[in-house]
């Protein structure tokens, strides 16, 4: 449980992590997790220690009825076999652009529907090495899943290439920030602003934990830019100080304004999905997610 989502995604893309689809089936549907008008859900990455069907079952157990689907739960070694001596990147590109792949996304939607879980977005890391065909295919995947939002941990420079494909698909992109400030990476408000210059379909998936660890004010950013925020990733982190990267911690133990952000969504009726992302070192994933969801529910019901 030590990997960040970007690092873990790299392991999956590199074929080092196998997360096969394990058909476990949900015994019941998830109860609605729309609380006081706020859609509380999760990034499926929170359940990265298990395959997708087990992750869906975990969401049902926790009581979460919304999720952002992480590409690491889809682009596994089981789904994209690589011939001996073959290139993983080439195989992934071929898989993404194969029209038959869309049926997998339709099937995932059926499985989510059966569990009472509504997908809010699809998370895939656009990169400068993506071909135009790959970019177009990602939006077709989103359509097959039945979502209108693509979340992406990407390079800032990719936004001008992505905008026309998003416009053609009539979908929007929320670029996801991390805490490390570096050239061509999303971390600062200025990075989001640069990407949004590409066009009206480019927006923000604001990770309030990472934003806090980078020593920015997530609540102030939400207040100013809520019209451009497609999703919120809810995690708690300490601020970075003295060169030490702010640690990821359980809700309420860090500096991220989780309570203020959730109550702002509630009180101002901003319909932005609030997606829990479990990333700190905990015990059992489902038990930790119950605690995190309980924190959000208590906040919104107070």
Between 171 and 14, whose confidence is greater?
Answer: 171
Average pLDDT taken over every residue of the chain: 92
Pick among 3.90.79.10, 3.30.70.330, 3.30.2130.30, 3.20.20.150: CATH of 5-301: 3.20.20.150
What is the percent of the chain with per-residue pLDDT over 90, rounded to a whole number? 86
Checking if the pLDDT of 85 tops 90, the result is no
Does this model's pTM top 0.85? My answer is yes
For residue 96, what are its two tokens? 């993404």
Checking if the pLDDT of 113 tops 70, the result is yes
| Torsion angles phi and psi, residue 66, rounded to 5 | -135, 145
Across-strand partners of 172? 149
Check residue 294 and give its pLDDT.
98
Least confident span in 18-27, 47-56, 106-115: 18-27
Distance in angstroms (rounded) separating the CA atoms of residues 263 and 283: 28
Checking if the pLDDT of 103 tops 60, the result is yes
* CB atoms inside a 10 Å sphere around CB 241: 10
195-217 residue pLDDT tens:
999 999 999 999 999 999 999 99
Check residue 15 and give its pLDDT.
39
Check residue 159 and give its pLDDT.
98
Cβ-contact 125, 9 below 8 angstroms: yes
Mean pLDDT of 276-295: 97
Checking if the pLDDT of 258 tops 90, the result is yes
Check residue 7 and give its pLDDT.
47
What is the percent of the chain with per-residue pLDDT over 70, rounded to a whole number? 91
Q: Report DSSP letters for the chain, one per residue.
A: ----HHHHHHHHHTT-----------SSPPPP-EETTEEEEEEGGGGTTS-HHHHHHHHHHHT--EEEEEGGGTS-TTTS---TT--HHHHHHHHHH-TTHHHHHHHHHHHHHHHT-EEEEEE----TT--HHHHHHHHHHHHHHT-SEEEE--BGGGHHHHHHHHHHHT-EEEEEP-S---TTBS-SHHHHHHHHTT-TTEEEEEEHHHHHHTT--HHHHHHHHGGGEEEEEE-EEPPPBTTBPPPEESTTSSSS-HHHHHHHHHHHT----EEE---S--S-HHHHHHHHHHHHHHHHH-
Checking if the pLDDT of 230 tops 50, the result is yes
CA 42 to each of CA 68, 73, 86, 229: distance values in angstroms, whole numbers, following the listed order: 6, 13, 35, 16
Checking if the pLDDT of 27 tops 90, the result is no
Listed by start position, the domains of the chain span 5-301
Checking if the pLDDT of 288 tops 70, the result is yes
Distance in angstroms (rounded) separating the CA atoms of residues 186 and 196: 12
């Amino acid at each position: 449980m030590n990997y960040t989502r970007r690092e873990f995604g790299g392991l999956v893309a590199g074929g080092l992590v196998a997360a096969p689809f394990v058909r476990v089936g949900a015994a019941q549907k998830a109860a609605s997790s729309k609380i006081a008008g706020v859609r509380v859900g999760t990034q499926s990455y929170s359940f990265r220690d298990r395959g997708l069907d087990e992750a869906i079952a975990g969401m049902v157990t926790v009581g979460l009825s919304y999720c952002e689907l992480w590409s690491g739960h889809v682009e596994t070694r089981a789904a994209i076999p690589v011939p001996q001596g073959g290139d993983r990147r080439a195989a992934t590109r071929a898989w993404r652009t194969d029209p038959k792949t869309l049926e997998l996304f339709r099937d995932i939607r059926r499985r989510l529907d059966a569990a009472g879980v509504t997908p809010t977005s699809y998370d895939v890391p656009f990169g400068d090495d993506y071909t135009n065909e790959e970019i177009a295919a990602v939006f077709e995947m989103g359509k097959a899943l039945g979502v209108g939002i693509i979340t992406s941990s990407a390079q800032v420079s990719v936004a001008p290439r992505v905008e026309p494909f998003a416009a053609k698909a009539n979908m929007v992109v929320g670029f996801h920030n991390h805490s490390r400030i570096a050239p061509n990476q999303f971390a600062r408000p200025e990075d989001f602003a640069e990407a949004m210059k590409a066009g009206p379909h480019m927006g923000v998936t604001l990770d309030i934990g990472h934003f806090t660890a980078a020593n920015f004010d997530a609540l102030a950013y939400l207040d100013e830019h809520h019209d451009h925020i497609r999703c919120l990733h809810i995690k708690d982190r300490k601020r970075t100080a003295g060169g030490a990267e702010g640690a990821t911690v359980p809700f309420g133990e860090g500096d991220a304004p989780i309570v203020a952000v959730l109550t702002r969504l509630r009180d101002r009726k901003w319909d932005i999905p609030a997606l829990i992302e479990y990333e700190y070192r905990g015990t059992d994933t489902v038990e930790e997610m119950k605690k995190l969801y309980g924190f959000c529910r208590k906040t919104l019901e107070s």
